[in-house]
Amino acid sequence: MGFRVAVIVVAAGSGARLGRAEPKAFVELRGATILERALRGVFASSEPAQVIVVAPSGRVAQARRIGEFVAGAASGCLSVVAGGETRQDSVAAGLQLLDPEVEVVLVHDAARALTPPELIDRVVGAVTEDLGVIPALPVSDTIKRIDTRELVVDTIDRSELVHVQTPQGFPRAQLVAAYAAADQAYTDDAALFSAAGHDVTVVEGEARAFKITTGWDLHRAENLLGHSGGHSGALRTGLGLDVHAYDDGTPLWLGGLYWPDEPGLAGHSDGDAVIHAICDALLSAAGLGDLGGRFGTDEPRFADASSEVFLHETLLLVAGAGFAVVNVAVQLVANRPKLSGRRGEIEARLSELVGAPVSVAATTSDGLGFTGRGEGVSALATALLSS
Ligand code: CTP
Ligand code: MG
């Protein structure tokens, strides 16, 4: 069945003004990423819609996982695409994925993480065949015009001014044509739409739909959510251990990375003991058993599967049981490979795969036991989940 409405959620910005290591949409806000919180609002709106997430090019897989988690059974309506240099480029990338039946397109900033679903409904309800709709709120501060020397020139009549938010809604055909015709940068979608000769009207905005731009905004969002962060607050930990023997005849995959010139690991799938331990820790924390029990280690379809497949399936099970991953810690006990040179790389890779911070440590066993004799590796992981 096709949808009449599509919501493009742009999340491809870097968040320079927030100043975090990760792009803004992937920053944690009380136990869930900004993107996850924005999508919860979108999926809670009344009109079933096609949802298109526009993500930074290196984060498409992570964005898809977050989207699938929030969408649950509705994940069939979800598409994810890489964005561009500017917000306008990112919206244009999202427009490429519109289903043929879509008549109304909403463009929404992931950075407006706490936007209430009612605002989305209000915008959808006001779009007509030739009218764009934007949420607006009155300006409460006095507004002055200043010159280049920072001298006040005059006071603007604020009764004529509003400040505007997203989602901004438009009739599909006109918006697509306006984007195709745009030959300059516009500050928002409504400006681009107006420049193509169309009318735009306003509906009442929502204070909670403010955009998280700076650290101060993030702090405000945290305070609004309170300490439970919108979760019931229950935390659960889990533990996982995995052991594999070295096998000179296979390539080494460990921690989701390929390790050239290192002996591989024997065993199930690609033998990635680090990922297997993480899967077991996640399943254990969610009370879902263990990897062998869930995926049948003898099943031929998993024989040569990449361990990322198990991690992906595990995360879907964990999400389906109503849990969000808070963090994961894993320790490798092995003589080889030496993790130190690539620790940042593994942590980044695993954090991307899990969708939450993963910290990685390594040790040798001081010459003792099978790891000390150089017969194989052992990996131990813990996971913390919130419900
Ligand atoms: N956005 C995007 N693609 C870009 C730039 C921005 O999808 N090339 C998205 C952001 O992810 C955000 C929304 O547009 O959800 C509003 O942009 P803004 O708040 O400016 O976010 P950033 O550009 O990420 O932040 P900054 O300008 O501080 O770098
Ligand atoms: Mg920006």
pLDDT of amino acid 1: 61
Q: Please give the Cα distance from 376 to 244 (Å, whole number).
A: 6
DSSP-derived 3-state class of residue 19? coil
**CA angle in degrees (0–180, nearest 5) for 78-102-162:** 90
pLDDT of amino acid 347: 96
Provide the residue ranges of all domains of the chain, joining segments of one domain with +. Answer: 5-213, 233-386
Q: Please give the Cα distance from 39 to 68 (Å, whole number).
A: 10
Amino acid residing at 267: G
Task: Identify which ligand lies nearest to the alpha carbon of 85.
Answer: 1
Task: Identify which ligand lies nearest to the alpha carbon of 16.
Answer: 1
Q: H-helix or E-strand containing 216?
A: helix 215-225
pLDDT of amino acid 301: 67
DSSP-derived 3-state class of residue 162? strand
Predicted TM-score (pTM) of this structure: 0.66
Location of structure tokens 């297997």: 276
Ramachandran category for residue 290: left, alpha or beta (phi over 0 → left; psi -120 to 50 → alpha):
beta
Please indicate whether residue 185, judged by its CB atom, sits closer than 6 Å to ligand 1: no
Which CATH superfamily groups domain 233-386?
2-C-methyl-D-erythritol 2,4-cyclodiphosphate synthase (3.30.1330.50)
List the structure tokens of 217. 């905004």
pLDDT values of the chain reduced to their tens digit, one per residue, 387 residues: 689 999 999 999 999 999 999 999 999 998 889 999 999 999 989 889 999 999 999 999 999 999 998 888 788 899 999 999 999 999 999 999 999 999 999 999 999 999 999 999 999 999 999 999 999 999 999 999 999 999 999 999 999 999 999 999 999 999 999 999 999 999 999 999 999 999 999 999 999 999 999 999 999 999 998 755 555 668 999 999 999 999 999 999 999 999 999 999 998 788 999 999 999 999 999 999 998 888 876 677 676 778 898 998 899 888 877 788 999 999 999 999 999 999 999 999 999 899 889 999 999 999 999 999 999 999 999 999 988
Please indicate whether residue 9, judged by its CB atom, sits closer than 6 Å to ligand 1: no
Please indicate whether residue 82, judged by its CB atom, sits closer than 6 Å to ligand 1: no
Q: Please give the Cα distance from 267 to 303 (Å, whole number).
A: 9
Nearest atom, ligand 1, residue 212 CA: 19
- Assigned fold of 5-213: Spore Coat Polysaccharide Biosynthesis Protein SpsA; Chain A (3.90.550)
Q: Please give the Cα distance from 386 to 324 (Å, whole number).
A: 5
Task: Identify which ligand lies nearest to the alpha carbon of 87.
Answer: 1
Terminal Cα-to-Cα distance of the chain (whole angstroms): 32
pLDDT of amino acid 282: 97
Distance 87 CA to ligand 1 centre (A): 6
Residue among 7, 9, 14 whose CB has most ligand 1 atoms within 8 A, to mutate: 14
Distance 226 CA to ligand 2 centre (A): 27
Count the residues in the chain.
387
How many Cβ atoms are within 10 Å of 302's Cβ, its own excluded? 18
Q: H-helix or E-strand containing 320?
A: helix 307-320
Q: Please give the Cα distance from 295 to 292 (Å, whole number).
A: 6
Question: Counting Cβ atoms within 10 Å, is residue 177 exposed (0-12), middle (13-18) or buried (19+)?
Answer: middle
Peptide bond into 263 cis (omega under 30): no
List the structure tokens of 114. 């706490």
Following CA atoms 189, 30, 320, 94 in sequence, which dihedral angle do they give, to the nearest 10 degrees?
10
Residue among 17, 24, 66 whose CB has most ligand 1 atoms within 8 A, to mutate: 24
* DSSP category for residue 230: T
Distances (CA, A) of 190 to 279, 294, 311: 45, 49, 41
Beta carbons of 273 and 362 less than 8 angstroms apart:
no
How many Cβ atoms are within 10 Å of 214's Cβ, its own excluded? 13
Please indicate whether residue 24, judged by its CB atom, sits closer than 6 Å to ligand 1: yes
pLDDT of amino acid 232: 60
Please indicate whether residue 14, judged by its CB atom, sits closer than 6 Å to ligand 1: yes
Q: Please give the Cα distance from 370 to 239 (Å, whole number).
A: 21
Nearest atom, ligand 1, residue 23 CA: 24
Which chain residues have CB less than 5 Å from ligand 2, an ion? 13
Bridge partners of residue 137, in order along the sequence: 163
Ramachandran category for residue 185: left, alpha or beta (phi over 0 → left; psi -120 to 50 → alpha):
beta
Closest C-alpha residue for ligand 1 atom 1: 13
Q: Please give the Cα distance from 61 to 79 (Å, whole number).
A: 11
Distance 290 CA to ligand 2 centre (A): 43
Closest C-alpha residue for ligand 1 atom 13: 109
Q: H-helix or E-strand containing 117?
A: helix 117-126
